[in-house]
């Protein structure tokens, strides 16, 4: 556990500032680490997305950070689960100083974001099934670095989920991208098993939701190996948004079988490229 994670989990709270709505509360620890605390009890009592189980968004915030570390994306700020007297259990995420919400950031910040960074963000959102990534849910700083926040509506369990992406998103370009290939290529049996430990065994998500993640990794590995994205993905455009389908192809299969298939497809992809 890093010093920041340790402070978020158990650091003495020196300042509490409620941001309203009962969900976002700014906490500052005695050693100066500032974080955003989102309470379970502050979440909606009804479904916000069909694929997301009620009162589990704070767990998905934690899970998204763990996936970020496994994938090596380094865009989700450190996020842990914490129980604070008077507030209850929730997610506690480091507040990234110097970052501004994309929708309100200066254009010069936005222009500095590299194509590699954009690809990493797209791949991460695809794998975790982020269903709420809009201009207020990711941040950018003066160096063009990105911080992915508000990940509570991710890692759902629907047999078919539509993920909003940029209108200029091109499936073939995404699959053929070296950054995409390097990240998928970095996955191994150990990392797939680590995902299971960090997400499923720790009860942050359920088995069906974990299968959905593996399903998307399989989609990507097969697309790269076969150089065939259009057969595995399909999209549609409505208004100012474009969506891609991220169906779960393993909904009825045994988990151990799904994990084996995923590992084999990744290894096959490595042989091809």
- DSSP line for 57-89: HHHHHHHHHHHHHHHT---SPPEEEEEETTTEE
Q: Are 94 and 77 within 8 A, CB to CB?
A: yes
Rounded CA separation 31/12 (Å): 8
Mutual orientation of helices 255-272 and 207-226 as an angle, nearest 10°? 20
Both structure tokens of 241: 């948004």
Contact (Cβ atoms closer than 8 angstroms) between residue 249 and residue 161: no
The number of residues making up the chain comes to 273
Element spanning 165, H or E: strand 162-165
Residue 171: its pLDDT value, please? 61
Q: How many helices (H) and strands (E) does the chain have?
A: 9, 11
- Between CA 76 and CA 62 the distance in angstroms is 10
Containing 221, the helix (H) or strand (E) segment is helix 207-226
Distance of CA 264 to the CA centre of its chain: 24
The model's pTM: 0.90
- pLDDT one digit per residue (tens) for the chain, 273 residues: 899 999 999 998 888 887 554 456 778 887 788 999 999 998 989 888 888 999 999 999 999 999 999 999 999 999 999 999 888 999 999 999 999 999 999 999 999 999 899 889 888 988 998 888 888 899 999 999 999 999 999 999 865 555 665 555 566 667 778 999 999 999 999 999 999 999 999 999 999 999 999 988 988 898 888 876 555 455 666 666 666 666 666 777 899 999 999 999 999 999 987
Pair 92, 35: CB distance under 8 Å: yes
């Amino acid at each position: 556990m890093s010093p920041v994670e340790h402070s978020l989990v158990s650091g003495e709270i020196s300042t509490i500032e409620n941001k309203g709505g009962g969900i976002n509360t700014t906490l500052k620890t005695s050693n100066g680490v500032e974080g955003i605390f989102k309470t379970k009890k502050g979440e909606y009592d009804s479904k916000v997305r069909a694929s997301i189980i009620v009162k589990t968004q704070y767990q998905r915030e934690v899970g998204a950070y763990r996936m970020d570390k496994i994938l090596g994306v380094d865009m989700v700020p450190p996020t842990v689960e914490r129980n604070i007297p008077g507030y209850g259990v929730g997610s506690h995420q480091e507040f990234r100083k110097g970052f501004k919400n994309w929708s309100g950031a200066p254009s010069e910040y936005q222009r500095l974001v590299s194509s590699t960074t954009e690809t990493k963000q797209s791949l991460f959102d695809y794998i975790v099934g982020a269903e709420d990534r809009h201009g207020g849910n990711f941040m950018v700083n003066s160096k063009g670095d990105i911080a992915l926040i508000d990940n509570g509506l991710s890692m759902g369990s629907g047999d078919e989920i539509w993920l909003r992406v940029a209108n200029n998103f091109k499936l073939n370009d995404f699959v053929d991208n070296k950054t995409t290939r390097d990240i998928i290529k970095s996955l191994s049996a150990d990392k797939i098993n680590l995902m299971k430990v960090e997400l499923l065994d720790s009860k942050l998500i359920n088995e069906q939701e974990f299968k959905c993640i593996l399903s998307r990794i399989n989609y990507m590995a097969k697309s790269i190996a076969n150089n065939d994205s259009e057969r595995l993905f399909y999209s549609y455009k409505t208004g100012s948004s474009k969506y891609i389908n991220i169906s779960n192809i393993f909904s009825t299969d045994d988990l151990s079988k799904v994990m084996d298939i995923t590992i084999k497809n990744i290894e096959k992809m490595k042989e091809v490229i």
